[in-house]
């Protein structure tokens, strides 16, 4: 083969192998690591997967936060103004976690249907509402007077 | 008056930028010397106007002029002076002005330091940079004016977000922006070369030092951001694969690829079209980063404050700049002839592989960052792509890249044979494996990941040492030889050793860190990784613009006291936001980290977060070494020569 | 001569732009309020001028009124405040100020400085009632009709344009209803 052709062919093969491997990695990683977002109503309706991490968001219900006095366990309810879910978390909550605040948690459902959170996220602005949470807040057909 | 004056200066900068874009470009096309030579003075004038405008904003913050909406939103009389100054770039409007100012600094520097470059070329380069400047200044004036007044003026400002009241954040944004914007220089050189139809090796030589310096800023900027996140966010993490972080990391990866491909184009005249494309990509990703962060299309901290109107503006600008340059590329690149050939085993191939790996890595990060947007646009639900995705995709790409580094330095240009290097490489591989295994055995447990990471690091360090010795100008190591060896050679080897140090840090921290959230009452201790953390007590404290609690924790190992740690929990009075100030006992081989959670129970107990992080300093040490290497390479005398 | 391989980057970029434009059109602020079309949630909160006196929405039954959520720490509220001063002068609607997560002293100082367009100001220092109203960010303004139904919610500050194009026409429309 002509040396120039040969060189091109080799380069193209290298590129294809590289891109194919990377795509393979990306797709498997995607399948394992995509995390869906559900509202407490979705979870109560059984839409959330079992034994798989997902994210759940809502507003922390007033007066629902209970802390253990002997270890770092904490329980609280989050709601989308329709259904509420109890979340259990072991560890330190973020600085801006508080009642009435919109938050997102990441975790799994256990056999009893409780949500065991691995991570609790509250953003750095107390007037901030995560867009995912805002979008799922008790969505009902509503009409705007002004279109 | 000052705010109006600042705004006026900004409008002046816009007018000068318009002149700087049009006159030299027309002059270069029609060969009018007077219009060509006006480019440099106009660049200086624009820089001056931008500095005045920025200076006005700084003055407004120092003087606590809360009749300016932006100052009222982001400052406070009780804020210490240094933070009042850094508050200037603490939010959207001011950080954009800083962006524009950085562009002014680069434009001015190109005008001053490129004396050896032909005037026609510089005229085109400054014209392209002027166009980018128009976009940014217009964006500021139309959608995000930092000089907007508010009437009636509030007596007190809303204060700076407490997270940003920190030394790291004073210098992180300026460094990062200098890096982002610095990539516009290589971009402008590439566009100018295409406009002139002269895509030879010259533009590559001229843009190499600029690209290296921009890369140094970007490296240090990202690294500072990571360091800040580590000690200020109170989570002990150093990288989160957050969209905002990715937005800064993607340009870095492509800039790294660009540095390597510029070397090929300059030295061998190969890969010309590819290098131009990389120069366009690198700067485009900077702009894309600005779009993603500022438009609020991705979930980020500032989403609620972001404005779709701003996003639309940047999108249109992105289409003009990136679309325009890619169209120009499609038109002009066809005419490029890369006339030098290279065999499959050559330095060219090694550097091309480096480029492919880096670009593929960038593409996977881009995919992960934009995928939630795709799913949302198709109405398939709300998803997020977490760190596990990025880790599982990124690491397999980086391992061969680092391995390649050790081979690439030895391979000759154009053609080489494996036989020549086989013996040496196999020997070094064996030594690296032994040293890597021994290093891992010194750790608490033996893991394959740690062995791969340390072996790679040894492999790079040994090969760089050997390669440096070969390139030495004199036979024996002597002072004379040290002086004669070009800085670029030092820089290249040092930067690669920086990667090795970084690899050690990342690998060992990820594998051997231990952390625990515990509830301790005064007098109690907890043992973590052989260290005893004893919680003594917690006291009330009052600061200038906050109040809070300070805990006292004594750490000892085998009965010997090692550190007195005093983490704090602060409530900033104006915004009433709580902040965790972690206490860190830093060391070369391990960091100890204590952060306060919340008070629990009635015995004065506190939930505390304890960390033991081995080798975490090596991450930032590695980036510092990389940055130093880049600086040496950029200041090589060779680049200051005319031909 | 154009070669197709040099056009590929441009084509990829066009696709990316289409995606970004689609992302941009999903405005996160267009969150429909679940409360629109429903009775205004009941509350009883102390008045700012005299905390011993409570106010509840029943007191305004049969009237069209606005509930404006504000706080002294909110700079955007400062921007919309002159609009309410102007609206109050027209005397066509009762404006109830809802002081959110604030202290009484600061709220009072604010009203002294900027003027008080409100018929009554209630205080919700802990933000408990604000939660019932699904307050995402301050300022927000609810429009409540004669039957006590929330008819519209305005998120963010009211601008001069909003005042004339949305607020006043809507108030007139609601007043014309039985």
ipTM: 0.81
**Cβ–Cβ of B319/C17 closer than 8 Å?**
yes
Instruction: Measure CA of the first residue to CA of the last residue in chain B; give whole Å.
Output: 50
**C79 has pLDDT over 80:** no
Judge whether C34 is closer than 8 Å to chain A, CB to CB. Answer: yes
CA–CA gap between residue B504 and residue B502 (Å, rounded) = 5
Please judge whether B329 and C10 are an interchain contact, meaning their C-beta atoms are less than 8 angstroms apart.
yes
Least confident of B85-94, B251-260, B306-315: B306-315
Q: Are B339 and B204 in contact (CB under 8 A)?
A: no
Max CA-CA distance within chain A?
A: 78
B404: three-class secondary structure by DSSP: helix
Q: Which residue is associated with the tokens 């959170």?
A: A117
d(CA C63, CA C143): 11
Alpha helix (H) residue ranges in B345-386: 347-377
Residue B612, classed as helix, strand or coil, is strand
Interface of C with B (CB under 8 A): 1-3, 6-7, 9-10, 13-14, 16-17, 19-29, 73, 75, 78-79, 82, 113-114, 136-137
Q: Which residues contact C170 (CB under 8 A, 6 or more apart)?
A: A145, A146, C143, C151, C152
Contacts of B345 (CB under 8 A, 6+ apart): B411, B415, B416, B417, B418
Interface check C70 vs A, CB under 8 A = no
Show Cβ contacts of residue B188 under 8 Å, excluding neighbours closer than 6 positions: B110, B124, B125, B126, B128, B129, B132
Do residue A144 and residue C37 have CB atoms under 8 angstroms apart?
Answer: no
Query: Is the pLDDT confidence value at B34 over 90?
Result: yes
By the 8 A CB rule, do B14 and B26 touch? no
Q: Which residues of chain A have pLDDT under 50?
A: 124-127, 138-147
- Looking at residue C162, its pLDDT comes to 82
- Residue B403 pLDDT: 95
Interface test with C, best of B148, B149, B334 (most C CBs within 10 A): B334
Chain A interface includes B605 (CB < 8 A) = yes
| Higher pLDDT, residue B473 or C158 | C158
Domain-wise residue ranges, chain A = 1-34, 37-146
Query: CB of B89 within 8 A of CB of B2?
Result: no
Task: Mark which residues 71-110 of C lie under 8 Å from A by CB.
Answer: none
In whole angstroms, how far apart are CA C137 and each of A31, B171, B513?
36, 31, 39
Peptide bond preceding B152: is omega within 30 degrees of 0, i.e. cis? yes
Nearest to B301 among A14, A30, A123 (CB): A123
Handedness of CA C104, C110, C116, C118 (dihedral sign): negative
Residue B29: CB atoms within 10 Å: 14
pLDDT value at B363 more than 60: yes
> CA-CA distances (angstroms) from residue A29 to A38, B392, B396?
21, 6, 12
Give percent of chain B with pLDDT exceeding 90.
Answer: 60
Is A127 in contact with C166 (Cβ distance < 8 A)?
no
The residue to which tokens 């919680």 are assigned: B535
Domains and CATH numbers, chain C: 38-176 (3.40.30.10)
pLDDT tier at B307 (50, 70, 90 boundaries)? low
Coil, strand or helix: which one is B127?
helix
CB contact under 8 A, B341 and A55: no
B448-470 and B487-512 helices cross at what angle (nearest 10)? 170
- The verdict on domain A37-146 having CATH code 2.60.40.10 is no
pTM of the model: 0.85
Q: Where are the alpha helices (DSSP H) in B31-116?
A: 33-37, 39-62, 69-74, 81-86, 92-113
> Do the beta carbons of residue B608 and residue B463 sit within 8 Å?
no
Distance from CA of B413 to the nearest CA of A (A): 15
Chains contacting B with at least 3 CB pairs below 8 Å?
A, C
Chain C residues in contact with A102 by the CB 8 A cut-off are 136
**Of residues C20, C78, C113, nearest to B315 (C-beta):** C20
A129 touches chain B (CB under 8 A): yes
Residue C31 has pLDDT above 60, yes or no: no
- In this predicted structure, which of B300-314, B547-561, C111-125 has the lowest mean pLDDT? B300-314
**Residues C36, A142: C-beta atoms closer than 8 Å:** yes
**CB half-sphere exposure, C9, CA atoms < 13 A:** 23
Q: How many CB pairs under 8 A join A and B?
A: 133
Dist CA B622 CA B223 (whole Å): 10
Distance (Å) from the alpha carbon of C36 to chain A's nearest alpha carbon: 6
Name, in order, each residue with C-beta under 8 angstroms of B463's C-beta and a sequence gap of 6 or more.
Answer: B405, B406, B407, B409, B410, B428
Instruction: Return residues 203-242 of B near A (CB < 8 Å).
Output: 234
């Amino acid at each position: 083969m002509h040396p120039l052709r040969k060189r091109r062919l080799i380069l193209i093969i290298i590129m294809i192998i590289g891109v194919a491997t990377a795509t393979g990695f990306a797709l498997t990683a995607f399948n394992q690591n995509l995390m869906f977002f559900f509202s407490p109503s979705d979870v109560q309706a059984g839409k959330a997967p079992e034994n798989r991490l997902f994210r759940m968001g809502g507003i922390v219900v007033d007066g629902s936060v209970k802390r253990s006095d002997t270890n770092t366990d904490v329980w609280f309810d989050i709601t989308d103004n329709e259904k509420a879910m109890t979340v259990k978390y072991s560890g330190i909550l973020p600085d801006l976690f508080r009642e009435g605040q919109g938050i997102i948690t990441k975790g799994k459902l256990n056999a009893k249907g409780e949500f065991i959170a691995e991570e609790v996220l509250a953003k750095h602005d107390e007037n901030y509402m995560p867009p995912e949470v805002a979008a799922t807040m008790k969505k009902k057909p509503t009409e705007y007077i002004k279109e | 008056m000052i705010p109006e004056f600042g705004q006026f200066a900004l409008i002046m900068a816009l007018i000068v930028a318009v002149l700087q874009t049009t006159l030299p470009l027309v002059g270069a096309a029609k060969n009018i010397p007077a219009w060509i030579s006006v480019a440099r003075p106009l660049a200086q004038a624009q820089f001056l106007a931008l500095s005045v405008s920025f200076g006005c904003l700084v003055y407004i913050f120092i003087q606590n002029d809360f009749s300016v909406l932006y100052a009222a939103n982001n400052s406070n009389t009780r804020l210490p002076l240094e933070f009042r100054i850094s508050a200037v770039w603490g939010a959207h409007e001011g950080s954009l002005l800083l962006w524009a100012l950085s562009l002014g600094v680069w434009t001015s520097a190109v005008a001053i330091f490129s004396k050896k470059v032909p005037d026609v070329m510089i005229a085109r380069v400054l014209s392209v940079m002027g166009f980018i400047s128009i976009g940014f200044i217009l964006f500021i004036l139309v959608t995000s004016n930092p000089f907007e007044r508010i009437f009636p003026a509030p007596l007190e400002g809303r204060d700076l977000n407490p997270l940003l009241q920190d030394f790291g954040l004073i210098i992180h944004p300026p460094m990062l922006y200098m890096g982002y914007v610095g990539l516009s220089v290589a971009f402008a050189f590439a566009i100018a070369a295409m406009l002139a139809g002269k895509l030879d090796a010259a533009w590559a030589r001229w843009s190499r030092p600029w690209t290296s310096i921009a890369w140094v800023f970007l490296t240090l900027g990202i690294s500072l951001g990571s360091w800040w996140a580590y000690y200020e966010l109170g989570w002990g993490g150093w990288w989160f694969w957050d969209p905002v972080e990715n937005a800064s990391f993607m340009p870095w990866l492509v800039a790294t690829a660009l540095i390597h491909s510029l070397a090929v184009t300059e030295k061998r005249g190969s890969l010309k079209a590819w290098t131009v494309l990389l120069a366009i990509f690198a700067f485009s990703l900077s702009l894309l980063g600005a779009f993603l962060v500022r438009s609020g299309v991705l979930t980020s901290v500032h989403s609620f404050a972001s404005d779709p109107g701003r996003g639309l503006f940047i999108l249109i600008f992105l289409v003009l700049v990136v679309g325009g340059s890619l169209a120009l590329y499609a038109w002009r690149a066809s005419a490029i002839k890369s006339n030098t050939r290279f065999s499959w085993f050559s330095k060219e191939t090694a550097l091309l592989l480096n480029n492919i790996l880096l670009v593929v890595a960038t593409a996977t990060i881009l995919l992960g960052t934009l995928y939630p947007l795709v799913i949302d646009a198709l109405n398939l639900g709300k998803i997020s792509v977490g760190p596990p995705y990025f880790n599982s995709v990124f690491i397999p790409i980086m391992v061969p890249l680092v391995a390649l580094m050790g081979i690439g330095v030895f391979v000759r240009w154009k053609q080489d044979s494996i036989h020549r290097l086989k013996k040496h490489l196999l020997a070094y591989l064996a030594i690296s494996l032994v040293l890597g295994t021994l290093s891992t055995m010194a750790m608490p447990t033996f893991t394959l990941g740690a062995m791969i990471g340390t072996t790679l690091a040894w492999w790079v360090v040994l090969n760089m040492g050997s390669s440096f010795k070969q390139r030495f100008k004199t036979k024996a190591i002597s002072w004379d030889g040290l002086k004669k060896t070009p800085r670029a050679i030092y820089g290249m080897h040092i930067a690669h050793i920086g990667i090795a140090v970084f690899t050690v840090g990342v690998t060992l921290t990820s594998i051997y860190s231990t952390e625990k959230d515990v509830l301790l009452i005064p007098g109690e201790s907890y043992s973590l990784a052989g260290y005893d953390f004893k919680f003594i007590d917690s006291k009330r404290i009052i600061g200038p613009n906050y109040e809070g609690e300070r805990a006292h924790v004594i750490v000892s190992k085998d009965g010997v006291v090692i550190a007195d740690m005093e983490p704090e929990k602060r409530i900033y009075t104006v915004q009433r936001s709580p902040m965790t100030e972690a206490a860190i006992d830093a060391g070369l081989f391990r960091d100890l980290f204590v952060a306060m959670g919340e008070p629990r129970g009635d015995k004065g107990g506190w939930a505390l977060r304890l960390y033991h992080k081995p080798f975490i300093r090596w991450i930032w040490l590695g980036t510092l070494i990389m940055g130093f290497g880049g600086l040496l390479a950029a200041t090589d005398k060779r680049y200051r020569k005319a031909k | 001569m154009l070669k197709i391989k040099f056009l590929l980057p441009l084509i990829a970029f066009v696709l990316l732009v289409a995606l970004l434009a689609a992302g941009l059109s999903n405005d996160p602020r267009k969150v429909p309020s679940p409360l629109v079309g429903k009775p205004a949630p009941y509350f009883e909160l102390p008045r700012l001028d005299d905390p011993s006196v409570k106010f509840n929405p029943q007191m305004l039954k049969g009237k069209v009124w606005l509930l404006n959520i504000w706080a002294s720490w909110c700079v955007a509220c400062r921007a919309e405040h002159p609009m309410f001063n102007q609206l109050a002068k027209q005397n066509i609607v009762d404006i109830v100020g809802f002081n959110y997560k604030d202290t009484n002293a600061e709220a009072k100082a604010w009203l002294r400085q900027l003027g008080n367009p409100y018929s009554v100001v209630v205080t919700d220092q802990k933000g408990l009632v604000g939660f019932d109203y699904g307050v995402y960010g301050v300022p927000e303004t609810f429009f409540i009709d004669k039957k006590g139904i929330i008819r519209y919610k305005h998120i963010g500050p009211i601008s001069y344009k909003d005042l004339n194009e949305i607020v006043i026409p809507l108030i007139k429309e609601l007043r014309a209803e039985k």
